Chains A and B, each alone.
Chain A
């Protein structure tokens, strides 16, 4: 508690001191301003300066008074970090004031304006700075009033700030009292600083010379310039090739994409064609198949009929043979009858002769003999009639059989012609199917040829990989050589000797690279160059 009272007392004391000094500062400021204006052609139009200063002083006094009032209370201080921040702000403001003063002095010195104007500017700047200071102090007092905290711990910080502020104000009072001196002093300071800077630069230069005693800087810089230029040239050359690589890769990718799209289109059209063909033709093929089955059944029946023919034929032949046998046996009988009738006739003739020999007695016998002879003639006639009848019968049987065969044959012929129609239809249907498959295969084949062509082109495009790889390898090669030469150059910077050899080698590396690159096909150049050599040449 005792410590707090002591700190409070110290705080009040400091605040009083601060108040007195700052009030004194303001009074002196106004006084100096009036004096300057009156001695150096004080003009009526400058009253606003005095008014402004008076106003500033008034605001300043009010804030001082508030600070004083506050210091008489038990003040609750800010936490340490906020105090630090506020201190930093205050320092910044003082620095700004200092900068304003210095700016004004520098400006006045440079433009040779009259002292009055300089003083005006200085005063205005100073009053502005005081305004800022005042705002900050107001802010500080408000902040102080709002925060709780341990006054004992933080008090001395504020005290320091207050002291510093007082010192700064004193300094400005001194400056204001003798601006001319301050001006000269600042100019001297600037001159001294410049001298110092010059001296430091000289020292630095000397040290550099000491570090690299034998290297002539001018020469060194020229060599560095050459090397940097060559380095950039190589990079440009590489950049050109990278552009070509980029173009080739891009074109190749586009071509591959295009070809892949063709491949996809071709494959799709094959699938579409086949599926379409199937849909259209499947029903027709089904009905053709049904018809074919019917035809085949008909043909089978016909074949069965044909197979039955030999059996019928055999039976018919047997019947004919049997009928012919009967007829033949009947023919033998006819011959026997003829024989009997012949012999009967001879017998009758003989009996007639004998009856004639017998005279009257044989008259009756003669009548019998005549009758027998008549019988023989009749028998012979009958036999011939039978024979002719049998012959007719044989012919009739044979003719009958013949007609039966013809009917059969006609029937079979009809069947055969029907079968021929079926076979023709089957053949037609088969030809249709053959034609259909032929067309299908032709279309598929055509598409396959296109597919093969596209695949071949895709394969051709893969060659870009080799072209690009070789270009990248050449770039890698030149970069390795360049980096090696740059390493050599870096090593040489700290030692004796000229970099001429390295520059020459670097130059050669660049020329070699450009020359090698010009041997190869450049698609970017070839694109625009009508005189470019052909891609294919037969010697």
Chain B
């Protein structure tokens, strides 16, 4: 049973890039364009094994999305990675406090991304 990764980013290029990398590696990928749409999918019953989210998005940004997702039942220990152009320590701390599992700075090559995913999803 392929693991499901939920990808949240407002950039179509990012979605295409990361989705293809993950699908090539054998994952099943679900996508959403912002925090609001992502929350809608999660509340509708999507149960991913990992969430990878951007930080700067319209309607609802990544930090707020992580906070809201963590509050959902069954999402307390789900690994959530951020994938963003932001790199400053202050923003990383915000992400950590919101409940992010790790911080990735764009751009991330396929091999590096899969290495990090293997660390947070040991069975993958």
Residues of A whose CB lies within 8 Å of any CB of B are 252, 452-453, 455-457, 459-467, 469-471, 518-522, 526, 532-533, 535-539
Contact = CB atoms under 8 A, between A and B. Distances in A.
B11 interface: yes
Contacts of B107: 252, 460-464, 466-467
Contacts of A536: 102-105, 108, 112, 116
Contacts of A532: 87
B95 to A, nearest CB: 8
A303 B17 CA distance: 62
Interface stretch (B18-26, B34-42, B45-53, B68-76): B18-26
B106 A467 contact: yes
A252 B13 CA distance: 14
Interface residues of B, number: 40
A456 B107 CA distance: 12
Nearest to B12: A466
Task: Name, among B91, B107, B114, the residue most crowded by chain A CB atoms within 10 Å (CB to CB).
Answer: B107
B87 A466 contact: no
Contact of A535 (B13, B20, B96, B104): B104
B27 to A, nearest CB: 12
Contacts of A459: 16-18, 20-21, 110
A104 to B, nearest CB: 73
Nearest to B9: A466
30 contacts: A455-B110, A456-B25, A456-B114, A457-B109, A457-B110, A459-B17, A459-B20, A459-B21, A459-B110, A460-B21, A460-B109, A462-B107, A463-B13, A463-B14, A466-B85, A467-B107, A519-B90, A519-B91, A520-B85, A521-B86, A522-B87, A533-B105, A535-B87, A536-B102, A536-B104, A536-B116, A537-B92, A537-B102, A539-B95, A539-B100
B87 A461 contact: no
B87 A520 contact: yes
B1 interface: no
A452 to B, nearest CB: 6
Contacts of A521: 85-87, 105-106
Contacts of A457: 109-111
